[in-house]
A and B are shown apart, each in its own frame.
Chain A
Amino acid sequence: MKERPAMAVFLTRDQLPAVLAASAERGPTWVAAGRGEDSGFIPYRPGLCLDREAGPTRRTLKEVFFPRAEVLFGYATVDGVPRLQPAEPSGQPMVVFGVRPCDARALALLDPVFEEPPHVDGLWAGRRQAATLVGLGCDRPGPACFCPAAGGDPLGEEGLDVLLVPVDGGYLVRPLTERGRAWTEPLGLPPARPEQQAAAEAVAARARERLAGSPPVDLQATLARGFEHALWDRLHERCLGCAACTYLCPTCHCFDVGDEDGRRWRRWDSCMFPAFTLHASGHNPRTTGKERMRQRLMHKFCYYPERRGRPACVGCGRCVEICPANVDLRSVLDQLKGVRA
């Protein structure tokens, strides 16, 4: 999607509310907002402004494109003939504001999962095609952030249409795609001055400095060899077996289906639940937390890289923040690195 670089422009902080309001007049607009455990992507309402906290919002961007539960199709028998009515995305152009680079990368990791032919998920693809993602660079990564270890960057551009870099007084606005330029140009913003460009570079350098010391994780070969390693017996010990880490993970995308009132729903599901692999026979191949936690890590750091060439983790640190038992993915990965199977 990335073509010629466009000139960066400057948006003052005072202008931002008007930009959000104008966007909301044109179509559905989501904003990263709220504080702490209350934060997430919420539909625009007057007064809503970009979140200025460190790190990502608690709830993820995936919810905008892959909601917790949604109807896939309706079914009924009309005059003795069974009929299906597939759900269609509205297709109305929408804008998402304040997307952290980690969340945008997560969408880029999910695109092939939902859109690889021949099985194109219409709901996902439709929403993706309709969306302009306006990113907000991470000037102050949070204490759980580790995006460089996952191959990301606090000012990363992958998956974004526009990147805002927060600097004193406002944002350096970098259109990154055609769609991003189409969003930026009507704003009629002045070109960024050299000192504003320099300030943005300084923000990037500071953010990277803060995250220094998390080199990229490449565990694919180690995990492929270490499926039966004794370490798994201990790794899961503290894990409670809830789905907080998977449901708040921007790349976890498993779902289950169920019917209600003539409609087929899909709803998030988690490999951390025993019922996830429960067979109709009553047999369950993953009987304990050990097998379930191993599956979560293998999927992210072995199976996905085998198919797509990179891990299915963006280092947003949400799983680290929210784990009730403080099972820290970063230390789990460190331990796995030491495995010599």
Chain B
Amino acid sequence: MTANLRETAARLLAEGTVQLVLGWERGTLPLRTTPLFAREPGDAERLVYDPTCDHNLSGYLGRLKEERVALAARPCEARTLVEQVRENRIARDRVLAIGLPCSGMISRRALASRLADRVIREGRLAGDRLVVVGDGWQEEFPWVEVRDPACQGCRLPDPGIYWVAPEAPAPPEGDRFARLDARTALSPEQRREEFRQAAERCIACYACRQACPMCVCAECFADRTAPALLGPTADPSEAMLFHLVRAMHLAGRCVDCGACARACPVGVDLRHLHLALEREAAERFDHRPGVDPEARPLVGSFRPDDREEFIL
């Protein structure tokens, strides 16, 4: 797959079809990749694609100056692109999405937990097997055992967004909302306490917001100073407010790519908030983010038959 991607990228750049190819290259730590902004055909050699390419690249599209770009697109990038197109943030013909088959990503958090947080000195994928080496130990197992749980039940977007459709899309099976159903066993008090604890850990670095390709406000409400909407304290209520407002702003727009949870340096994962709102939008308004670039955005649309029993 990496070979195909490199070849396509090199050709697009050499022909001048695009001025930039956005993909991933090997990172500097075991099992990490980093975004690659390939501008010369020779750069394409550095492209890689495997289940460690977990950072959603579409967030960079809005800041690029190039006239035409190609995007290495997993379903996560493709769903985001659909949203960006339908919100008129990106002109559809500006981006050539090179579809990549995806069967999920390795979760660094799941891997750390499986290895009891032992330090990984070296990691590599050999086919379906993941080999990790530490100080005086080595383990090998199928990588899907540490697949991001959120990749379960991944939806493919409308293939219409792709310039090259992925060859053998094999999304992991399962029900995406199962993660939410498991939470219904918790009482509202338990959920509130869990949320409070997450907020207590949050250091307000906003890595979640910055990594999110759909957090696109020119000025985030959290950065407002006059009036300041968040207080100057480190009380968890400040972080709770931030994460709740962020969730509301992403309702019907979040494509559940998981960039926020991966970006968090202190292990806060609030994806269930976004998922709950996604289910709400699906059940109440038959709205599915990241599927149809022609569809109207959730908040920008009105239908006479919308359910509105909550309006007095």
Interface residues of A (CB under 8 A from B): 35-38, 53-55, 58-59, 67-69, 140, 142-144, 234, 237-238, 240-244, 246-248, 256-260, 265-268, 270, 273-275, 278, 320-322, 324-328, 330-331
Q: Chain A residue with minimal CB distance to B121?
A: A143
Which of the 9-residue segments B160-168, B223-231, B285-293, B296-304 touches chain A? B223-231
Instruction: State whether B29 touches A143 (Cβ < 8 A).
Output: yes
Cβ proximity bits B18-44 to A, threshold 8 Å, 1 near / 0 not: 000000000111101111010000000
Cβ-neighbour of A242 out of B35, B206, B267 (below 8 A): B206
Cβ-neighbour of A267 out of B30, B35, B60, B234 (below 8 A): B234
Number of interface residues of B (CB under 8 A): 43
Cβ-neighbour of B265 out of A67, A322, A330 (below 8 A): A322
A–B pairs, 29, beta carbons within 8 Å: A36-B112, A36-B267, A37-B264, A37-B266, A37-B267, A68-B204, A69-B233, A238-B35, A238-B37, A240-B263, A242-B207, A242-B209, A242-B211, A242-B263, A243-B206, A244-B265, A248-B265, A256-B232, A259-B232, A260-B231, A268-B203, A270-B205, A273-B223, A322-B207, A326-B29, A326-B34, A328-B27, A328-B28, A330-B28
Q: B175: shortest Cβ distance to chain A, in Å? A: 28
Please report the C-alpha to C-alpha distance between residue A278 and residue B220 in the assembled complex, in whole angstroms.
14
Shortest Cβ-Cβ A-B pairs, 9 listed: A258-B232, A324-B263, A69-B234, A322-B265, A326-B34, A242-B207, A242-B210, A265-B232, A37-B267
Instruction: State whether A67 touches B225 (Cβ < 8 A).
Output: no
Instruction: State whether B263 touches A244 (Cβ < 8 A).
Output: yes
Cβ–Cβ < 8 Å partners of B28 in chain A = 320, 326, 328, 330-331
Cβ proximity bits B225-265 to A, threshold 8 Å, 1 near / 0 not: 10010011110000000000000000000000001001111
**CB neighbors of A among B48-67 (8 A):** 55, 59-60
Cβ–Cβ < 8 Å partners of B209 in chain A = 242
Interface centre among A144, A237, A278 (most CB of B within 10 A): A237
Q: B148: shortest Cβ distance to chain A, in Å? A: 15
Cβ–Cβ < 8 Å partners of A326 in chain B = 27-29, 32-34, 55
Instruction: State whether A267 touches B225 (Cβ < 8 A).
Output: no
Instruction: State whether B120 touches A241 (Cβ < 8 A).
Output: no
Does B306 sit within 8 A of A, measured CB to CB? no
Please report the C-alpha to C-alpha distance between residue A274 and residue B211 in the assembled complex, in whole angstroms.
16
Q: Chain A residue with minimal CB distance to B35?
A: A238
Q: Chain B residue with minimal CB distance to A276?
A: B223
Cβ-neighbour of B117 out of A53, A268, A274, A327 (below 8 A): A53
Q: A13: shortest Cβ distance to chain B, in Å? A: 18
Cβ–Cβ < 8 Å partners of B223 in chain A = 273-275
Cβ–Cβ < 8 Å partners of B206 in chain A = 242-243, 273
Interface centre among A143, A256, A270 (most CB of B within 10 A): A143
State whether A243 and B207 are in contact (beta carbons under 8 Å apart), knowing that A69-B234, A260-B231, A325-B55 are contacts in the complex: yes
Instruction: State whether B120 touches A143 (Cβ < 8 A).
Output: yes
Please report the C-alpha to C-alpha distance between residue A265 and residue B232 in the assembled complex, in whole angstroms.
6
Interface residues of B (CB under 8 A from A): 27-30, 32-35, 37, 55, 59-60, 109, 112, 116-121, 135, 203-207, 209-211, 223, 225, 228, 231-234, 259, 262-267
Please report the C-alpha to C-alpha distance between residue A246 and residue B210 in the assembled complex, in whole angstroms.
14
Instruction: State whether B211 touches A247 (Cβ < 8 A).
Output: no
Q: Chain B residue with minimal CB distance to A39?
A: B117
Instruction: State whether B262 touches A257 (Cβ < 8 A).
Output: no
Please report the C-alpha to C-alpha distance between residue A144 and residue B37 in the assembled complex, in whole angstroms.
23
Q: A274: shortest Cβ distance to chain B, in Å? A: 7
Cβ–Cβ < 8 Å partners of B207 in chain A = 240, 242-244, 322, 324
Cβ-neighbour of A320 out of B29, B109, B121, B228 (below 8 A): B29
Q: Chain A residue with minimal CB distance to B235?
A: A69
Q: Chain A residue with minimal CB distance to B122?
A: A143
State whether A142 and B234 are in contact (beta carbons under 8 Å apart), knowing that A37-B266, A243-B205, A325-B35 are contacts in the complex: no
Cβ–Cβ < 8 Å partners of B33 in chain A = 326
Cβ–Cβ < 8 Å partners of A327 in chain B = 34
Cβ-neighbour of A53 out of B119, B232, B263, B265 (below 8 A): B119
Q: A324-B55, A328-B27 are in contact. List 4 more A-B contacts (CB 8 A).
A: A54-B135, A242-B205, A243-B204, A268-B203
Q: Chain A residue with minimal CB distance to B234?
A: A69
Please report the C-alpha to C-alpha distance between residue A267 and residue B231 in the assembled complex, in whole angstroms.
10
Q: B170: shortest Cβ distance to chain A, in Å? A: 26
Instruction: State whether A240 touches B37 (Cβ < 8 A).
Output: no
Q: B210: shortest Cβ distance to chain A, in Å? A: 4
Instruction: State whether B34 touches A238 (Cβ < 8 A).
Output: yes
Q: A84: shortest Cβ distance to chain B, in Å? A: 17
Cβ–Cβ < 8 Å partners of A54 in chain B = 119, 135
Q: A50: shortest Cβ distance to chain B, in Å? A: 15
Interface centre among B32, B116, B205 (most CB of A within 10 A): B205
Instruction: State whether A140 touches B37 (Cβ < 8 A).
Output: no
Cβ–Cβ < 8 Å partners of B264 in chain A = 37
Cβ–Cβ < 8 Å partners of B211 in chain A = 240, 242, 324-325
Q: B267: shortest Cβ distance to chain A, in Å? A: 4
Instruction: State whether A257 touches B55 (Cβ < 8 A).
Output: no
Cβ–Cβ < 8 Å partners of A259 in chain B = 232
Q: B195: shortest Cβ distance to chain A, in Å? A: 17
Q: Chain B residue with minimal CB distance to A258?
A: B232
Cβ–Cβ < 8 Å partners of A242 in chain B = 205-207, 209-211, 263
Q: A264: shortest Cβ distance to chain B, in Å? A: 8
Q: Chain B residue with minimal CB distance to A275?
A: B223
Please report the C-alpha to C-alpha distance between residue A330 and residue B55 in the assembled complex, in whole angstroms.
20
Please report the C-alpha to C-alpha distance between residue A260 and residue B264 in the assembled complex, in whole angstroms.
28
Instruction: State whether B35 touches A265 (Cβ < 8 A).
Output: no
Cβ–Cβ < 8 Å partners of A238 in chain B = 34-35, 37, 60
Please report the C-alpha to C-alpha distance between residue A256 and residue B32 in the assembled complex, in whole angstroms.
34
Instruction: State whether B203 touches A247 (Cβ < 8 A).
Output: yes
Cβ–Cβ < 8 Å partners of B59 in chain A = 240
